[in-house]
Amino acid sequence: MHKLIGSLLLVVLVTTIGLGWGLDQLFYGLTKRDSDPLAGYRVTGSGLASVLDKSKDQDVFMQAWREGGGVPLELLDPEDISLPSALLGSFYQSEPIALESDSGISLFFYLPDSGQILSMSPPATQKSRQHDVIRLLLTIMFYAGLIAFTLMWLYPLVRRLVNLSKVAREFGDGNFASRIQVSRRSYISDIEAEFNRMAQRIETLIDDNKLLSSAVSHDLRTPLARLRFGVDALSEVDDQTVRQKYLTRISDDLTEMEKLVDVLLGFARLDRRFEEVEKNHIDLVALVDAQVESISNGARRIQWQAAKEPLLIVANQQYIIMLVSNLLNNAERYSVESIKVSLERQKNQIVLSVEDDGSGIPESHRESVTKPFVRLGSTTGYKGYGMGLAIVRRIADVHGAKFSILTSGDLGGACMSVVFPRIADTREHLAKADS
């Protein structure tokens, strides 16, 4: 948006000032070579003023001049005309004054002996009319140029807006894969990028909603069927021991349904809270070390060596704890004996890796297992709701990190990798904090 405003101001200023200055220079260049169109009238008027000033019968001369049909002349008293005070000094030294009014140009000549003023009103000259035509043409050129440059600036903007409207219409018609090809030269690249982000967000929510609907309906159908069977069986059984057995099963099914609903609502709340998440500077080394320590008493052997210097990221501590905890719990669930946790700096990034020696995740399933309620239960034999890796990916996305599933080179199982963007060097951060 800043690019759009800046380019608009630049075009308006450069076009208005540059084009106006250029046309002014052109006008002066075309007119400065012209001689003074009033030069002849100045000489004639000076001669007439000298003759009139020495004439004893000025009225007769003026009457004869008018009857001759020459240039209009008029004798005036100094009180009858108001002349610019700045020009009076030279005027009284016989320097004629030319003044322009609505009726045209008038020349004034001072008669020192009689103290009167001779007024001459020459007709408009051809050159004056030519100057008016040139001035009109240049004015038209100015506005035409201003419009042309504005349209040249508006064309790519209108084209990008039409493209944005077209993609938005396609998206509204249900083609949720529609995206805009963002160009760095576009005036509205920020808006286009924001639209793509919004479209991706909506597409993800719709896909999640489909997955949630399918998974919830499947996971709820089984306990509901058992509940229906248990209720029907209770009505037909009189033995208290058997009835208590059915009641226990019904209670277990209700507990399972309650857990499923809690997980579903928790994921929905998690998704909503990401819009208002508060981020601070976090030492990832200390956080991972604390989480590893919390599960190190289990049967699995954890390979972890904390770095000696802090590795800082900008994130929400609660959600990063949730991310690390889910990765460690997932590795503990599917590993056989060993888990390896590593945290290292790679250029401007921090890479967190959690590896295990389990059977791993086939490459064809790595994308699907990061979606809500998607599990590899048929191959792993573990019961769960399939939310762990979905939560990890969602937290990574909101923090600008990249989550990927690889194969562990050391242990042979799965390798869960999260790449965080690293902030400035620790010393720089501390210096900023102190200032």
Mean per-residue pLDDT pooled into runs of 10, the chain (435 residues): 62 70 66 62 83 80 78 82 77 80 80 84 64 71 74 79 88 86 79 86 76 63 76 80 83 78 66 64 92 74 85 87 88 88 89 92 86 61 68 84 92 93 55 44
Count Cβ atoms below 10 Å from residue 88 Cβ, excluding itself.
Answer: 13
pLDDT for 430: 40
pLDDT for 263: 66
DSSP 184: T
As a whole number of angstroms, the distance between CA 256 and CA 260 comes to 6
CATH number of the domain at 189-275, please? Answer: 1.10.287.130
pTM as predicted: 0.49
Q: Are 237 and 246 in contact (CB under 8 A)?
A: yes
Q: Is the dihedral of CA 385, 386, 392, 393 positive or negative?
A: negative
Number of residues written out for the chain:
435
Domain ranges of the chain: 39-124, 189-275, 278-434
CATH number of the domain at 278-434, please? Answer: 3.30.565.10
pLDDT for 434: 44
- CB-based burial label for 346 (10 Å; 0-12, 13-18, 19+): exposed
Shared fold status for 189-275 and 278-434: no
β-bridge partners, 416 = 354, 405
Q: Which residues of 355-377 are buried (b: 16+ CB within 10 A; e: fewer)?
A: bbbbebbeeeebeebbbbbbbbe
